[in-house]
Amino acid sequence: MPRRTDAPSSASTARAAERAAERASRRPRGRPHVHGQARTLLRPGDGPMVVFDAVTKTYDETVVGLDDVSVSIDAGEFVFLVGQSGSGKSTFIRLITRELEPTGGRVMVGGRDLTQLQRKKVPYLRREIGCVFQDYKLLPNRTAFQNVAYALEVTGQSPRAIRRKVPEILNLVGLADKADRRPGEMSGGEQQRISIARAFVNHPALLIADEPTGNLDPETSIGIMQLLYRINRTGTTVIVATHDREIVDKMQMRVIALEGGRVARDQRQAGYALAD
Amino acid sequence: MRLRLFLVEALRSIRSSMSISVAATVTVLNAIFILGIFIPVYLQVQSEVNRQREKLDIRVYIDDNATVAQVNGLRTIIASHPNTESFVYVSKQDALDQVSKQVDPEVLAELPANPLPASFEVKPKDPEKAGELIDAVTGNPALDTSGGDPITYGKETADKIIRAGNIIRYAGLGLLIVLMIASVLQIANTIRLSIFARRREVEVMKLVGATNWFIRWPFMIEGVICGVVGAVVSVLLLLAVKLAVVDTFFELSDSPFAGQDGATLSFPELALILVAAGAVVGALGGGITLRRFLRV
C-alpha cells in the first residue's frame, strides 16, 4: 500500500504549524517526551549532556584525530565547534555517535559512558541523537515525507503516529508543500531542511550537525542556522561543527575551537576567531 | 514483526534497482534450472542402477541324480541363509518350458531327453555379498557337477554395475554439492553487487538508529522474492522441457525408462523442492552478504 504522501491543504498546513510550534514550546527543556517510545539510554538528569574526558583518538601512529581533549557541554546548550579541516571536528562528532571509539579517555553522552556501551545498543543511542551532515545523507529514492518517516519507522512507531508527526515536522522546517519531492528535485537548502526534520522528528535530547552549511550559500546558511537555533530553544542540546566564520561571529554562542586535535579555545558568547 | 513495512521496503528497493534485481533473479533461474534437470536425471540413473542390481540372480543347478533329501538339504541352506531375499525352485520341466519360448520347439522335439537340470534361482538381499551365499552352497552334494560350473552368477556384470552405481552415486552427489555451492556463491555475488550499490543507503539507515535486523529484513525478503520468482520461472521452463521433449521421447521410444517417469520424484515434488531452494538461497544471499556493510 502506498504511503499517504499528499500534502495537506493550506488551511490545515497553517493549523499544523501552529500546533507544532505550540507543542515545541511546551516541551520541557532537555528531556522532551516522545510518544510511543520510552527513552532509556540517555539520562543526563541535571548533569552535562556531553563530556569528553581526556579523549585521544589516533587513527594510526602518525595521524592524530584528537589529542587529550576534555570538554563538558550542558543540556540545552548551543555550541559551535570550529577549526580548520583536519583539526578534529569530524572525529569529535563521530565519537559522540559512536561511529568511532576513542583510543584513550572517556566519552560520556547523556550520563552514559560510550566506551562501555554494548555494540547492539548503538542503534538505540543514535535514535536519541539527531544527526545533520554536510551532504544531507538523504535516501535518494524516497520522497521528503518518506525520508523523515524512515527515522520514525526505525523506532517502531505506528503508521498513524507517522502520518501525524511527519507533516508537523515538515511544517516546522517550512517544507510542508515539498513532501512529495525526492532529494534530487530539491535545492541544497531544502534538502538540508529535510535532513534537519529527520534529525529532529524523534525530538532527540541532542542534535549534532557536521558542517550543515558547508554546501550552501550564505543566505540559505542563515536560514539553516536559525532553524537549528529554534530547535535549541525547545530544550535540545545542539552542537554544530563548522568553519563558517560569518555565522559563528553573528550568533555569538559558545565556541570550542580545535587545532591539530587539541582544544585551542573554549569561550562563551564568542566569535570564530579570538577577540582581543 | 512489522512484516508489511518490511515488505513495502523490499518492493521499493526491487523497484528502485530493477536491473540488479533482474540480474539476481536470472542467476537464480539459471542455477535452479540446471538443478531441476540434474536432480531427476540423477535419481533416474540411480533407480535404473538399482533395478539392474535387482536382476542379478544366483542360479544353483541340481544334479539329476540327487536324492530328495539332498535337494531338501540344499533348499534349507538357501532358505536359511541371511543374504537370501527370495528364491524359486525351477524344475527340469520349467527349465525346458523357459527355453522352448526362445528356441524352435521342433529342435527341442529332436532331443532324446530333457538335458536341462533343475535349479534354484536365488535373489540375494545384498548383491555385493553374493559371494557369501555362493560359498555356503559350494560343494553341496546335490549340485550338478556334470557340465561346467554348478553355480552361475553374473559376477563380472554385477561388479561392473555395482561399481558404476557407486561412481554415479558419489560423483553425482559431489557434482550436486559443487553445483549448489556455485549457485549460492553466484547469487551471493549478485546480491553483494546490489548491496554495494546501496551501501550509502545502509549507512544512512544505521545513522538514524536502525538496528541491523531492521535493515536486514527487507534485504532478505528481497532475496526471497528474487529467489522464488527465479525458481518459479525455471520450474515453468522445466515443465515446458518435460512436456515437449521428455514425455514425447518416452512415448516414441521403447526406452527402458519408459513408463517409469516420475517413479522416483513426481514433478510437483520437484517443483516444490526447487522453489524452496530458491527461497532459501535468496534469503541467505541477502542476509549474509549484508553483514560486512552493517559494521558502521
- Report chain A's C-alpha Rg in angstroms: 18
Would you state the pLDDT for residue A45?
A: 64
Closest CA to A96 of A174, A206, A172: A206
What is A201-245 written as a DSSP string?
Answer: TT--SEEEEESTTTTS-HHHHHHHHHHHHHHHHTT-EEEEEE--H
The conformation of residue B113, written as its DSSP 8-state character, comes to: S
pLDDT surpassing 50 at residue B75: yes
Q: What is the pLDDT of residues B190-216, one digit of tens each?
A: 777 777 777 878 888 888 888 888 888
User: Does residue B296 belong to the interface with chain A, where contact is any CB pair within 8 Å?
Assistant: yes
Q: Which residues pair with B46 in a beta bridge?
A: none
* pLDDT score for A60: 83
Tell whether B206 is within 8 A of chain A (Cβ). Answer: yes
Cβ contact B55:B135 at 8 Å: no
For residue B155, the model assigns a pLDDT of 64
Q: Please judge whether A123 and B209 are an interchain contact, meaning their C-beta atoms are less than 8 angstroms apart.
A: yes
| Per-residue model confidence (pLDDT) at position B42 | 79
> For residue A13, what pLDDT is reported?
52
Residue B2, chain A, CB below 8 Å: the answer is: yes
Cβ distance A123 to B207 less than 8 Å, yes or no, reads: no
The pLDDT value given to residue B262: 44
Q: Check if A254 contacts B (Cβ < 8 Å).
A: no
The pLDDT, as a whole number, for residue A50 is 94
Mean pLDDT estimate for chain B: 79
Contact A156/B211, CB-based, under 8 Å? no
pLDDT at position A191: 95
Which of A120, A137, A155 is nearest residue B204 as measured by Cβ atoms?
A137
What does the pLDDT read at residue B175? 82
CA A230 to chain centre: 12
Beta bridge partners of B151: B60
**Radius of gyration of the CA atoms of chain B, in A:** 31
Helix axes B267-289, B212-241, angle to 10 degrees: 150
Q: How close, in Å, is residue B3 to chain A by CA atoms?
A: 12
Pairing of strands A78-82, A129-133: unpaired
Q: A-chain residues within 8 Å CB-CB of B216?
A: none
Chain A contact set for B200 (CB, 8 A) = 137
Q: ipTM higher than 0.85?
A: no
- Measured between beta carbons, the chain B residues lying within 8 angstroms of A125 are 209
Q: How confident is the model at residue B20 (pLDDT cuts 50, 70, 90)?
A: confident
Residue B21 in grid coordinates: 534485481
Higher pLDDT, B91 or B257: B91
Whole-number pLDDT of residue A40:
59
Contact A124 B214 (CB under 8 A): no
Residue reference for cell 587529550: A68
Name every chain B residue with its beta carbon within 8 A of the beta carbon of A126. 206-209
**What pLDDT, in 10s, does the model give residues B230-274?**
999 999 999 998 888 877 777 665 555 544 444 567 888 889 999
Q: Along the 276 residues of chain A, how does pLDDT read in single tens digits?
A: 444 444 444 555 555 555 555 554 444 444 444 444 445 567 656 679 999 999 999 988 778 789 999 999 999 999 999 998 888 999 999 999 999 999 999 999 988 899 898 888 899 999 999 999 999 999 888 899 999 999 998 888 888 999 999 999 999 999 999 999 999 999 999 999 999 999 999 899 999 999 999 889 998 999 999 999 999 999 999 999 998 888 999 999 999 999 989 999 998 888 888 654
Chain B residue numbers touching A154 (CB-CB < 8 A): 205, 208-211, 214
Interface A-B, measured as beta-carbon pairs within 8 A, has a size of 51
For every residue of B121-189, DSSP letters joined together read EEEES-GGGHHHHHHHHTT-TTB--SSS-SEEE-HHHHHHHHHHHHHHHHHHHHHHHHHHHHHHHHHHH
Contact B207 A97 (CB under 8 A): yes
DSSP B240: H
Global pTM value: 0.68
Judged by a CB distance cut-off of 8 A, whether residue B8 touches chain A is yes
User: What percent of chain B stands above pLDDT 70?
Assistant: 90
Q: Tell me what pLDDT residue A38 has.
A: 47
- How far apart are the CA of B288 and the nearest CA of chain A, in angstroms? 18
Question: What percent of chain B is modeled with pLDDT above 90?
Answer: 5
Contacts of A128 in chain B (CB under 8 A): 209
Strands (E), B151-292: 151-153
Q: What's the residue count for chain B?
A: 296
In this model, does residue B295 exceed pLDDT 70?
Answer: no
